[in-house]
């Protein structure tokens, strides 16, 4: 994309009520805009990152047999009365003109269960797994963590349906592995721990994926040896490592980037969702649910991967992999070479942002490029072009290389 | 995709309150599910169609310089007070815990104007065009037209910002052309008319794209010679063809599949959104807005492209282009050949649904395939396999061809 065509600009001022680092960095570089606390617009750069995260998640969930659907945001309150969740704290309420009470989906168990009930009748229809990328609405009293805790945010929610707990347990392990692959591809695996958390009244534990970060709202106790952690909320019932039993756990602030939960028959029982089993008897469908908030994941990456100049994106979710910056644009051969390089990279299907703006000084261009944080920067200048070279800089390491123009593509090593 | 893995089934019964043809056809073939009137879930087949429509629209809008963003659904009521739209009929109301009044976005002028105001300051920043695919919420009193009129639905909304009306007029014509390309690719161009409609208090006309259909809620008067139409709502002020002036217009029922509107300075004035022009003076930004409802477009295709067996999808938006049906699956060579053909088509990046279900009779398979309505059907049977052939049937024309197995790919002519 030509940067001269991008309507967003580097903003010198972020809103004065924006205290979170992630939103400050994202707003000033033009990734997001704040409508009000906890509610943000994704601008072109931000939408690109979210779409890349979405695609990573989609690939990994398709690999474990997820079928993608898209459920509504408007839910009948009646469905929540049926599960006893009509009074949960974060519901937004509204109503139809005729007076029917609605809530905005804060999760989708109340919709997915009656839906699947229409299609699943026998053990032969199980297991089945459906997921979606859909907006959730949560009426948080305070929303001061930028895109880490939104009142409106995009979530991947996966629901699995099984004949028995054994089958659920098996799938639950597959999801754990898929989640680790997702967090690896999004560049946060190194500081992300599988964390034991409360399982509610019907399961001993649930599992969270917690990423160490000072901006986190959670506290976890980490066993460095086993790469496991325990959420503070259950430290009274579990105070040692569930694997090696050591009591040497280290407390950290952290962000919950994902969670997985054995719902068992909690929601199927509410809706009387049963199947005929192999013996011709009716039995409750056994469920699991598995969430990842896309904005929170993006915000976590920003919180843990930045420097004083701006954001440093992991390559798989960078808004663009390559950022070409022209300087000395009044020079004809710089302009011609710049265009050539841009077209070559486009032809190679490389995601490239091309700073062709005429009204910006080099210093401004470099500063905005650091804020945006693409993986590699190619600087096309008069001095280097005359030697047949360009400068390639790695955003994460700061490493600089001078590369022959003909060898740019192989040197990018994306 | 293997059909044995698809959780949806052909439903023999549609909800008794579902009177619209589009929803009946879509529900029985497993494309959508009805949560309540005007609110539907997209099931895997339906989501595939919507994603294909979305991609067609995205390509065409990117081609006319649209920059994609994603704005929130929760809007401060205050923004609607500022434009005087706080009392419009279809708003859903809700509120934050602290008491702040919110509405659910029924359109996005009240969000996009203050957003663009932060980035656009000078004539040099114009023109700019932003668009999104985002859910709209409209509290309709009645919603009896299936997915033609949703209370919650996905819309592509594009907003353009200009220095003057001349520039707006020029872009407005480009959007008209892009819309015709979109409707062509979605297979409804032949029955879709550019239709003159009310321009509100600030513009002589707006333009709608109306598709002839008995299920439509609109009435238009068509000039067959000029391929133009007039919406009944303005027949008092415009009763002849705006082009050839004939009064021989034919009345039809129709569906509004898109509309484009010159907003001029209506919304920019409300927010005092001005730029510095070439003379250093402040001037109101001039706007246009352009909408297409994705569900309505999908529903329109279903309404006008079906037969008594089911839906007939235009090829660019079919859930799958090819539907392979195995019969005599107990025969080993049928199974082996079926798998080979399926893998070959996948390798060729052809979208293919593979009916490998063991528990369905051929008649059931054919009947569901007709309901689903993929472009071409390949029937792999014992009798034909022995001759080295498969049968290929065109869903739209019913034409049948017997094709050598090695020549399937070239015969598909997708």
Contact B94 A94 (CB under 8 A): yes
pLDDT given for residue B329 in this prediction: 86
pLDDT given for residue A182 in this prediction: 98
Range of the domain at B346: 320-412
Q: CATH number of the domain that B327 lies in?
A: 3.40.50.800
Q: Hey, is the C-beta of A245 within 8 angstroms of any chain B C-beta?
A: no
Is A414's pLDDT higher than 70?
A: no
Q: Which residue of B has its CA nearest to A138?
A: B96
Q: Hey, is the C-beta of B74 within 8 angstroms of any chain A C-beta?
A: yes
- pLDDT band with cut points at 50, 70 and 90 for residue A203: confident
Which structure tokens are listed for B177? 């052309």
Among A54-63, B55-64, B198-207, whose mean pLDDT is lowest?
B198-207
When pLDDT is averaged across residues A209-223 and rounded to a whole number, the result is 97
- In terms of C-beta density within 10 A (0-12 exposed, 13-18 middle, 19 or more buried), how is residue B198 classed? middle
Q: Hey, is the C-beta of A124 within 8 angstroms of any chain B C-beta?
A: yes
* Sequence-distant (≥ 6) Cβ neighbours of residue B146 within 8 angstroms: B18, B20, B21, B22, B23, B24, B26, B299
Contact B69 A47 (CB under 8 A): yes
> Residues of B with CB below 8 A from A67's CB?
5-7, 44
pLDDT given for residue B22 in this prediction: 97
Query: Which SS3 state, helix, strand or coil, does residue A302 take?
Result: helix
When pLDDT is averaged across residues A81-102 and rounded to a whole number, the result is 96
Give residue-wise pLDDT tens across range B216-240.
Answer: 999 999 999 999 999 999 998 889 9
Which structure tokens are listed for B369? 């395939």
B315 belongs to a structural domain: no
Contact A76 B116 (CB under 8 A): no
- A:B CB pairs within 8 Å: 132
Contact A162/A292 with Cβ under 8 angstroms? no
Which residues of A, range 90-109, sit inside 8 Å of B by Cβ?
92-94, 96-98, 100, 102, 104
A193 belongs to a structural domain: yes
Phi/psi for B327 (5° steps) reads: -125, 165
Q: Could you tell me whether strands B322-326 and B352-355 are parallel, antiparallel, or unpaired per DSSP bridges?
A: parallel
Q: Based on the domain organization, do B389 and B263 belong to the same domain?
A: no
| DSSP class of B122 | B
* Distances in whole angstroms, Cα of residue B179 to Cα of each of A341, B171, B281: 33, 12, 35
Contact A76 B35 (CB under 8 A): yes
Q: Hey, is the C-beta of A68 within 8 angstroms of any chain B C-beta?
A: yes
Q: Based on the domain organization, do A222 and A368 belong to the same domain?
A: no
Q: What is the pTM of this model?
A: 0.97
B220 belongs to a structural domain: yes
Contact A120 B7 (CB under 8 A): yes
Q: Hey, is the C-beta of A8 within 8 angstroms of any chain B C-beta?
A: yes
Distance from CA of B91 to the nearest CA of A (A): 10
> Residues of B with CB below 8 A from A141's CB?
97-98
Contact A76 B36 (CB under 8 A): yes
pLDDT given for residue B414 in this prediction: 59
B314 belongs to a structural domain: no
Q: Based on the domain organization, do A235 and A273 belong to the same domain?
A: yes
When pLDDT is averaged across residues B133-148 and rounded to a whole number, the result is 95
Nearest to A135 among B73, B76, B98 (CB): B73
Residue from B28, B44, B71, B72 whose CB has the most chain A CBs within 10 Å, to mutate: B72
d(CA A336, CA B311): 52
pLDDT given for residue A365 in this prediction: 96
- Which residues in A163-191 belong to E strands, given as ranges? none
How far is C-alpha B54 from the geometric centre of its chain's CA atoms? Answer: 7
Contact A306/A24 with Cβ under 8 angstroms? no
Assembly ipTM: 0.97
- pLDDT band with cut points at 50, 70 and 90 for residue B203: confident
| DSSP class of B285 | P
Q: Based on the domain organization, do B376 and B273 belong to the same domain?
A: no
Is B348's pLDDT higher than 70?
A: yes
Q: Based on the domain organization, do B297 and B382 belong to the same domain?
A: no
Contact B42 A70 (CB under 8 A): yes
Which structure tokens are listed for B208? 């709608």
Contact B115 A33 (CB under 8 A): yes
Start-end of H helices in B202-286: 266-270
| DSSP class of B286 | E
Q: Mean pLDDT across chain B, nearest whole number?
A: 95
* Sequence-distant (≥ 6) Cβ neighbours of residue B383 within 8 angstroms: B328
Instruction: Look at residues A244, A277, A307 and tell me which one is the last residue of a structural domain.
Output: A307
Which of B148, B139, B108, B176 minimizes the C-alpha distance to B257? B148
B338 belongs to a structural domain: yes
Q: Hey, is the C-beta of A65 within 8 angstroms of any chain B C-beta?
A: yes
Q: Which residue of A has its CA nearest to B100?
A: A36
Percent of chain B with pLDDT over 90: 91
Give residue-wise pLDDT tens across range A11-64.
Answer: 878 888 899 999 999 999 999 999 999 999 999 999 999 999 999 999 999 999
d(CA B28, CA B310): 9
Nearest to A69 among B39, B42, B151 (CB): B42
Give residue-wise pLDDT tens across range A272-293.
Answer: 999 999 999 999 999 999 999 9
> Residues of A with CB below 8 A from B47's CB?
68-70
Residue from A37, A79, A118 whose CB has the most chain B CBs within 10 Å, to mutate: A118
When pLDDT is averaged across residues B262-273 and rounded to a whole number, the result is 97
A286 belongs to a structural domain: yes
pLDDT given for residue B9 in this prediction: 84
Percent of chain A with pLDDT over 70: 99
Q: Mean pLDDT across chain A, nearest whole number?
A: 95
**Contacts for B343-351: CB closer than 8 Å, 24+ residues apart:** B344/B408, B344/B409, B345/B408, B345/B409, B348/B409, B350/B321, B350/B322, B350/B409, B350/B412, B350/B414, B351/B318, B351/B319, B351/B320, B351/B321, B351/B322
Dihedral Cα A237, A243, A246, A251, nearest 10 deg? -70
Task: Write down the residue that tokens 């040099």 correspond to.
Answer: B124
Q: Based on the domain organization, do A205 and A56 belong to the same domain?
A: yes
Q: Based on the domain organization, do B127 and B270 belong to the same domain?
A: yes
Contact A8 B119 (CB under 8 A): yes
Contact A119 B6 (CB under 8 A): no
Distance from CA of A195 to the nearest CA of B (A): 31
Which structure tokens are listed for A395? 């955003």
Contact B106/B75 with Cβ under 8 angstroms? no
Give residue-wise pLDDT tens across range A143-193.
Answer: 889 999 999 999 999 999 999 999 999 999 999 999 999 999 999 999 999
B237 belongs to a structural domain: yes
Distance from CA of B34 to the nearest CA of A (A): 9
Q: Based on the domain organization, do B266 and B325 belong to the same domain?
A: no
Q: Hey, is the C-beta of A42 within 8 angstroms of any chain B C-beta?
A: yes
Q: Based on the domain organization, do A50 and A167 belong to the same domain?
A: yes
d(CA B342, CA B319): 16
Q: Based on the domain organization, do A279 and A327 belong to the same domain?
A: no
pLDDT given for residue A348 in this prediction: 93
Give chain A's length.
Answer: 414
Residue from A15, A18, A94 whose CB has the most chain B CBs within 10 Å, to mutate: A94
When pLDDT is averaged across residues B15-30 and rounded to a whole number, the result is 93
Instruction: Look at residues A307, A328, A344 and tell me which one is the last residue of a structural domain.
Output: A307
Q: Could you tell me whether strands A128-137 and A152-162 are parallel, antiparallel, or unpaired per DSSP bridges?
A: antiparallel
> Residues of B with CB below 8 A from A158's CB?
none
d(CA B70, CA B60): 18
Nearest to A69 among B9, B43, B67 (CB): B43
A312 belongs to a structural domain: no
When pLDDT is averaged across residues B150-177 and rounded to a whole number, the result is 98
Instruction: Look at residues A250, A272, A307 and tell me which one is the last residue of a structural domain.
Output: A307
Contact A96 B151 (CB under 8 A): yes
When pLDDT is averaged across residues A74-99 and rounded to a whole number, the result is 96
Q: CATH number of the domain that B195 lies in?
A: 3.30.930.10
Q: Is the four-CA dihedral A189, A195, A200, A201 of positive or negative sign?
A: positive
> Residues of B with CB below 8 A from A119's CB?
7-9, 30
Q: Could you tell me whether strands A39-42 and A74-76 are parallel, antiparallel, or unpaired per DSSP bridges?
A: unpaired
Q: Based on the domain organization, do B96 and B213 belong to the same domain?
A: yes
Contact A94 B96 (CB under 8 A): no
| Inter-axis angle of helices B44-63 and B294-304, nearest 10 | 110
* Sequence-distant (≥ 6) Cβ neighbours of residue A339 within 8 angstroms: none
* Sequence-distant (≥ 6) Cβ neighbours of residue B341 within 8 angstroms: B324, B378, B380, B390, B405, B408
> Residues of A with CB below 8 A from B43's CB?
69
Counting Cα atoms < 13 Å in the Cβ hemisphere of A410 gives 5
pLDDT given for residue B204 in this prediction: 80
- pLDDT band with cut points at 50, 70 and 90 for residue A376: very high
Nearest to A67 among B7, B36, B93 (CB): B7
Nearest to B72 among A41, A97, A119 (CB): A41
Is B201's pLDDT higher than 80?
A: no
d(CA B211, CA A267): 43
Distance from CA of B160 to the nearest CA of A (A): 12
Element (H, E) at B60: helix B44-63
The total of structural domains in chain A comes to 2
Distance from CA of B253 to the nearest CA of A (A): 27
| Peptide bond connecting B127 to the previous residue in cis, omega within 30 degrees of 0 | yes
d(CA B179, CA B173): 10
Contact A266/A254 with Cβ under 8 angstroms? no
Q: Based on the domain organization, do A89 and A226 belong to the same domain?
A: yes
d(CA B151, CA B215): 18
Nearest to B72 among A35, A65, A93 (CB): A35
Contact A7 B152 (CB under 8 A): no
Buried b (16+ CB within 10 A) or exposed e, B356-377: bbeebeeeebbebbbbbbbbbb
- In terms of C-beta density within 10 A (0-12 exposed, 13-18 middle, 19 or more buried), how is residue B255 classed? buried
């Amino acid at each position: 994309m030509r940067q001269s065509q991008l309507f967003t600009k580097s903003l010198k001022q972020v809103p004065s009520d924006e205290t979170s680092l992630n939103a400050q960095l994202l707003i000033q570089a033009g990734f997001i805009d704040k409508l009000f606390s906890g509610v943000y617009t994704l601008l072109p750069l931000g939408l690109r990152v979210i779409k890349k995260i979405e695609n990573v998640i989609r690939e990994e969930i398709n690999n474990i047999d997820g079928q993608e659907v898209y459920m509504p945001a408007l839910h009948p309150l009646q469905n929540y009365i049926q599960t006893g969740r009509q009074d949960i704290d974060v519901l937004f309420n509204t109503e139809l003109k005729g007076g029917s009470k609605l809530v905005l989906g804060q999760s989708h168990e109340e919709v997915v269960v009656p839906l699947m009930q229409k299609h699943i009748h026998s053990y032969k229809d199980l297991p089945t797994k459906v997921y979606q990328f859909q907006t959730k609405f949560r009426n948080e009293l305070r929303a001061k963590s930028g895109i880490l805790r939104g009142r409106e945010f995009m979530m991947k929610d996966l629901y699995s349906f099984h004949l028995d707990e054994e089958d659920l347990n098996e799938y639950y392990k597959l999801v754990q592995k898929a989640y680790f692959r997702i967090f690896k591809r999004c560049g946060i695996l190194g500081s992300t721990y599988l964390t034991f958390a409360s399982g509610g009244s019907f399961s001993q534990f649930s599992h969270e994926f917690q990423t160490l970060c000072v901006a986190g709202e959670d506290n976890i106790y980490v066993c460095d040896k086993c790469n496991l952690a325990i959420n503070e909320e259950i430290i009274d019932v579990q105070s040692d490592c569930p694997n090696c039993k050591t009591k040497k756990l280290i407390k950290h602030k952290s962000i919950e980037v994902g969670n997985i939960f054995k719902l068992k028959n909690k929601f199927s029982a509410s809706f009387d969702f049963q199947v005929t089993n192999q013996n011709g008897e009716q039995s409750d469908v056994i469920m699991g649910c598995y969430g990842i908030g896309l904005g929170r994941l993006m915000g976590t990456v920003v919180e843990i991967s930045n420097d004083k100049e701006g954001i440093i994106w992991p390559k798989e979710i960078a808004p663009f992999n390559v950022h070409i910056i022209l300087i000395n644009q009044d020079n004809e051969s710089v302009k011609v070479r710049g265009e050539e390089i841009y077209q070559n990279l486009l032809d190679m299907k490389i995601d490239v942002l091309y700073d062709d703006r005429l009204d910006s000084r080099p210093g401004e261009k470099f500063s905005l490029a650091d804020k945006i944080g693409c993986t590699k920067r190619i600087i096309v200048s008069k001095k280097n072009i005359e030697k047949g070279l360009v400068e390639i800089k790695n955003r994460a390491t700061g490493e600089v290389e001078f590369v022959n123009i003909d060898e740019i593509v192989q040197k990018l090593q994306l």
